[in-house]
Amino acid sequence: MLTGSFMRRGLCLIFCFTAGLSAQTAHMWVSSELYPENPRWFTDPPDSSEIRYRLTPAEIVSAPARPADASAAIFRVNVEETYQSLLGIGTSLEETTVHAILKNKTDEQACEILRALIDPHRGIGMNLFRITIGTSDFSDGRAVSDHPQGFYSYQEKEDDEFSIQNDVELGIIKVLKMALQVAAECEPPQEIKFFASCWSPPSWMKTSASLIGGTLKKGYEKELAVYFRKFITAYAEQGIPIYAMTVQNEPNFAPKDYPGMRLDWRQERDLVIAIHEEFQRQPLIDTRLWIIDHNFEYWKKADKILSSLGRMGKKQYVDAVAFHAYSRAAASNMRKLQQRHPEIDLQFSEMAKFGVRGIYDIQQYFYSGSRSYVYWVSMSTQTPGDHNQGPYNDVSRLSPTMLIKTDGDHPNWYKTADYYLLGQFRFIRPGALRIACDFGSTDSLTAIAFRNPESVVLVLVNQTREEQPFQAWLDRQSYRGAVPGRSVATIVWDR
């Protein structure tokens, strides 16, 4: 077991020996939590030096074969047993984040923040970004909208012309173009994907006659489908392709203080049909459709939609079912759904996770079949209400975002410990296959493994306060090490 001088050096050592085979090159990095979900990150941010490990590289030392420490957790990695492929790991570029990225910054300074998110070497390698169709609960469009809180759609009245000019004026289009530019300038160039979600259609399409509350008026599925076509076309004209869209953000909840809308399962099914068939008209739109976009308990609603579409011969209209985790429902509900509809993908489309427990939760999402994980609200200003007219706009209601713009008339910003924890996934690249490995135990270490074309990745989570030793086996070779308390470690084997 590694203690003492090992910990003082701030490195986690891996000891490797062979069993009659030549050893593969292995590397390890460690990140640790600090004040997860604590408002101190807003009010009195700690110096970055207080974060013990920040994607800290590990020294790798080979050692002769010997029996494993009796207390070591054992992880056997099987590269031949494969599961789902990874679509991506990412975050949101909603309007509150866009404001924080641009505030008091030159274009190059703003690009540096995006580089910290996108670049797999200089940043944390994110590739999947959630954007909003109109405004969400994290926005402040008062500069462009007459709504008291600045909420807006792209067609406020039925006879208005459709326009995304508000998104242009608020800098959303600019930041999305910057993200594409940053991805193209990475070495090697990276491909990023945007998926879009609507919090509310225009008020004239709704029973509430407002962006807040209500549901879609009966017979307005076609109008909303055309509205979505216009959005995707307008963004494409700006050079911003929309890979996928969710039919409605959290359609089982009608918030009282920000845009939203309820849809029952039949309404959502009918809207899927209308959107898909509208997108099949010329010119063809190949944006994929994701349903549900809400908590795990709504897997039964997804089952009803997919089963009904199947009886109509239209199940292929749906590419994936997307989930959030804002309730106590188990992620394993995704597996139940996939057992009934194995041809439909699963995505995790929204929820920020914090600390090592959050990384453990993400492990569970992948074990339950998700092809993605997407964090929500990448960046806020240090005073959250500076540019957020939704209800989560003070330190008592908003957990610290992974990036924070410092208050004041300067470009300064900082990273929270969660940025480095999420960065442990940067070694798992889009298209990687999840592979079999021992899960472990929350009493010591839990693990998940993926296979890239040229590497194998094992992510270990230590939720305990003590250092936890482990022994990992890959291709009949053994590797030893230890993960510090309240930390996440990633081992990468080059192949």
Burial class (CB in 10 A: 0-12, 13-18, 19+), 56: buried
The structural domain count of the chain equals 1
Whether 192 is covered by a domain: the verdict is yes
Opening angle at CA 89, ends 28 and 261, nearest 5: 150
Q: Is residue 416 part of a domain?
A: yes
Residue 468 domain flag:
no
Please report whether residue 203 resides in a domain: yes
Of 138, 163, 164, 168, nearest in space to 151 by CA: 138
31 in any annotated domain: no
- Tell me whether strands 56-58 and 88-92 are parallel, antiparallel or unpaired: unpaired
Average pLDDT of span 189-193 = 98
With a cut of 60, say whether residue 61 has pLDDT above it: no
Cα distance between residue 179 and residue 391, in whole Å:
28
Is residue 121 a contact partner of residue 187, using CB atoms and an 8 Å limit? Answer: yes
Whether residue 62 is predicted with pLDDT greater than 50 in this model: the reply is no
Between CA 310 and CA 301 the distance in angstroms is 14
Q: How far apart are the first and last CA of the chain?
A: 27
Counting residues of the chain whose pLDDT is more than 70, the rounded percentage is 93
214-234 residue pLDDT tens: 999 999 999 999 999 999 999
Q: Are 303 and 335 in contact (CB under 8 A)?
A: no
In a domain, 459, yes or no: no
Per-residue pLDDT tens over the stretch 31-50: 999 999 999 999 999 999 99
Q: Is 445 part of any domain? A: no
Tokens of 167: 């998104």
What number is the average pLDDT over the span 158-172? 98
Give me the domain span that covers residue 412: 87-427
Largest Cα span, the chain:
77
Name the pTM for this structure: 0.95
CATH number for 319: 3.20.20.80
pLDDT at res. 68: 60
> DSSP labels for 141-175?
-TTT--STT----S-SSTTSPP--HHHHHTTHHHH
Residue 61 in any domain: the answer is no
Of the candidates 181, 210, 179, 157, the residue with the CA atom closest to the CA atom of residue 94:
179
